[in-house]
Structure 1
Amino acid sequence: MEIYQYTNKGQRKENQDYTVYKVLPSGDSIFIVADGMGGYSYGDVASHVVGDSIASFVEANIDKYEPQTLLENAIKGANEALMQKRLLLNVRKMGTVVSVAMIKGGELYVTWLGDSRVYLFNGDDMVFKTEDHSLLNEIKTKRPLSASTIERYAGVVTKCIMGDDDLGEIPVKVIPITKGETIVLCTDGFHKEMDIQWALNYNTALKETLDAKSNYASDNYSFIKVAI
């Protein structure tokens, strides 16, 4: 298994994205990409708290729960950790979206809240992609999206972790995986402004290309690539 991480703040003043992963002695592994919500306080802190909490919970409890329950409890624990941090900092609102991929027993387990994504590729063919928890996705199930609607609600998410009592349903998907496939987790700054193929085929030359994109990227952009 080969693992690559990339993050860039783009034209933003600070980087509120966070990527973290752990490969456990058992061979199981957990990968997290979190994107702090810039409209609230301490977005960078929120993404780090949530990412580290999920990684640590999975590492400590990998054999204590069924995989789906493990991820659900990891998300709940991260929400509690963010609540404690929010109270400590004495701020009303902190938040982050998050995408999580766990490899265990030859299967891929995915959970996410918001518009950071998880992709699975077999070669160049996309096998799986998470659907964004966004207001635009909800609206388009009811009516066509107008240009004004897209402009007005772009970036508005309907699920996230905010350290409060209302997490709602935590989705968990289970996908069979085989050797040779590739997992990509990325923030919306990447999948909206960059070519997903740059993450899929990431190498030293593409790093230079991605670095150069920071001159005009309107958002932080980050990913983790896992070549199985």
Structure 2
Amino acid sequence: MTIMKQIEYTSFSECGGRKNNEDYCQVVANPDDERYLFVVCDGMGGHENGEIASQLISTTICDYWRSHSAGSETDMILKEAFRKASEALDAKTEELDYVMMGTTMVLAAIVGNQLTIAHCGDSRCYLLRPNEGVVYETTDHVQNSGGRNLITRCFFSFHRRHAEVDIRHFEFQIGDRLFLCTDGVSSYVNPDILRESLMENKSTEELADIVKLLCEQSYSPDNYSGILCKFGMQ
């Protein structure tokens, strides 16, 4: 029996306690081919540079994903997309007189009933399942130094060795939900409250409103952004 799935999703991106927003969220949805890509990036570099990096990396990955056939192997597509993204970032840095910049990245790719989660940095993904709670949560690529968490992996100008992306695979189940977010959410909202809130029986729009309210109540000094997805049957 063929199970036809329905994917409900929404996104948000807020400045929070900062003057400009260096986060970037992007969705590529092809329901007819049962192919979806959800990407969240958190730029680094200060002023407008982080904003440029996050949008460039996300857009390059999404454009490469769009241009390749539905029959291609997901890991192969993503790895080549990551390489193209690093090349694009280096080229942009040269264009801007070598102003260095970078971004974290987390994404979820869905092809049929196969889910691929990839991340680099401290932007995070949660896979949650009814009656089980959190099935998988990405581990931040950070190192504590002098009481501060320093990002150890990211896409950064001319530092391709740092763009090492962790990739995991899962088989989706009806009722599963995904939440991808920048550290403006995960670092400032109580983790237990966040996970409980994501499991509430509400639409993705309602869940997004709850997460945004939690960020506001925590007085997050950072940009906070995310993409919420729910899997159901048609």
Between stretches 97-106 and 193-202, larger displacement belongs to 193-202
Paired position in structure 2 for 1:42 = 49
Moved more, 190-199 or 16-25: 190-199
Task: Flag the structure with higher strand content.
Answer: 2
2:227 maps to 1:219: no
Give the residue type in structure 2 aligned to 1:75: F
Distance 2:210 2:110 in 1: 30
In structure 1, the partner of 2:83 is: 76
2:19 corresponds to: 13
Q: Distance in 1 between matches of 2:57 and 2:220?
A: 25
Report the Cα distance in structure 1 between the residues aligned to 2:97 and 2:198, rounded to whole angstroms: 38
* 1:142 alignment counterpart: none
User: What secondary structure, in the 3-state scheme, does the structure 2 residue paired with 1:61 have?
Assistant: coil
2:194 aligns with 196
Deviation, 1:106, is 0.8
RMSD of equivalent CA atoms: 2.3
Report the identity percentage.
28
Residue aligning to 2:65:
58
TM-score with structure 2 length normalisation?
Answer: 0.82
Tell me the TM-score normalized by structure 1.
Answer: 0.84
Following TM superposition, by how much is the alpha carbon of 1:119 offset from its aligned partner in structure 2, in angstroms? 1.0
Instruction: Show CA shifts across 1:72-115 (max 9, x none).
Output: 11111111111111111113411000001100131111111100
CA distance in 2, matches of 1:170, 1:40: 26
Q: For 1:105-129, what per-residue CA distance to the aligned partner results, in whole angstroms no more than 9, with x for missing partners?
A: 3111111110001110002600011
Note the residue ranges of structure 2 that are not aligned, 5 or more in a row: 1-6
Tell me the CA shift for residue 206 of structure 1. Answer: 6.0
Q: Which stretch has the larger CA shift, 203-212 or 104-113?
A: 203-212
The partner residue of 1:162 within 147, 156, 164 is 156
Farther off after superposition, 195-204 or 19-28: 195-204
103 and 39 in structure 1: CA distance in 2 versus 1, 3 angstrom threshold: same
Relative to structure 1, is the Cα distance of residues 182 and 65 closer, same or farther in structure 2, using a 3 angstrom cutoff? same
